Amino acid sequence: MFKVGIIGGTGYTGGELSRILCTHPDVEIAALTSRQNAGRKVSDVHTYLKGYVGDLEFTQSISETRDLDFVFVATPHGVAMKEIPQLMEQGIKAIDLSGDYRFHDVDVYQKWYGHEHTDVENLGKAVYGLPEFFRDKIKGADLVANPGCYATSAILACAPLIRTGLVNEDVIVDAKSGTSGAGMVPTERTHHSTCGETIIPYSVGKHRHTPEIEMAVDMFAGSHSKVTFVPQLLPIVRGILSSCYFSLKKDATQEDLDSIYERQYGKETFVHYVPEPSIRAVVASNHAQVASKLIGDKVVAFGVLDNLVKGASGQAVQCMNLMLGLDEKEGLNLPGLGV
């Protein structure tokens, strides 16, 4: 049984990690930190965990718990780079769910996140945590950078096509997300009377998942690409739909596209190629759906997932399983809600 800690246990991703891990057969949640809730029972804060985490209490810091095997850092950006070095020194494997370790290029991080990176040494060691493409590297990693939710949905949709050279590398990503993607702290934009019964474009040209999608597209294309990313807020709690638009380099049929995606995902547990993707089909699960449609000399590829599970905490547990030598599906092999 592996002893696991979560730094940042009260946010949506921390709570979702707890929900998934509390029934994981090979894991014990040994520590959750929270500055504002230190000393309180976890089940009094996350009432949906009553009966699943015993009398576990939030602590002020992770160092108050001894002999941890693994730690998730589920905090806003800027925090993980202060926590990760001491975890690495102690030989504790870790996953960062913020953006602190996603870019090996420190200049890219500092440009988009607006402050200095203080752990450049571990920045270069972090493995990008997308199992469907980097499974072998994740297995041998001590530190994994969990991908962003928008980035995961877009990369799953785009990467199979880009790898073939069938499409031009430049892509338009039109993405829509539920309000939980904005985190727990209320804002004017996420106030119900602002976002209910409407769709709101936001952070266009400034969203921090833009360079992450570009980084991944470049890896698969082998050259620099231009990503035009337009995020939008939907009046739902969970889920992302990314519609990705390409121009063909050469003639192709719908059967050609289907074959590309079936080769990529046909044997995957958590990514499914379907005729018509649906957010409700994947909500509350670690499953993602992808689809593609040929329209003349254009291709539209779709990526759909639950932003809190395959887009965050579920994917992190999937990576943890690989890093600890466990069955990749452990704790995650449940279907979406469907309705």
Sort 275 into a burial class: Cβ within 10 Å, 0-12 / 13-18 / 19+.
Answer: exposed
CB 141 within 8 A of CB 323: yes
> One of 149, 158, 195, 244 is an active-site residue; which one?
149
Q: Starting at the earlier edge strand, list the strands of the sheet with 58-59.
A: 58-59, 27-33, 2-7, 70-73, 93-96, 143-145, 127-128
Q: Half-sphere exposure of 177 toward its Cβ, with a 13 Å CA cutoff?
A: 27
Angle (CA) 226 266 298, round 5°: 35
Region of 91 please: left (phi>0), alpha (psi -120 to 50) or beta.
left
| Concatenated DSSP letters of 129-183 | --HHHHHHHHHT-SEEEPPPHHHHHHHHHHHHHHHHT-B-S-EEEEEEE-GGGG-
Query: Token digits for 224?
Result: 């620099």
Residues 96/30, Cβ–Cβ less than 8 Å: no
- CB neighbours of residue 226 within 10 Å: 11
Phi first, then psi, for residue 291 (nearest 5°) are -155, 165
**Other beta carbons less than 10 A from residue 49's beta carbon:** 20
H or E element that contains 322: helix 314-323
Reply yes or no on whether 149 is catalytic. yes
Report the residue count for the chain. Answer: 339
Active site residues: 149
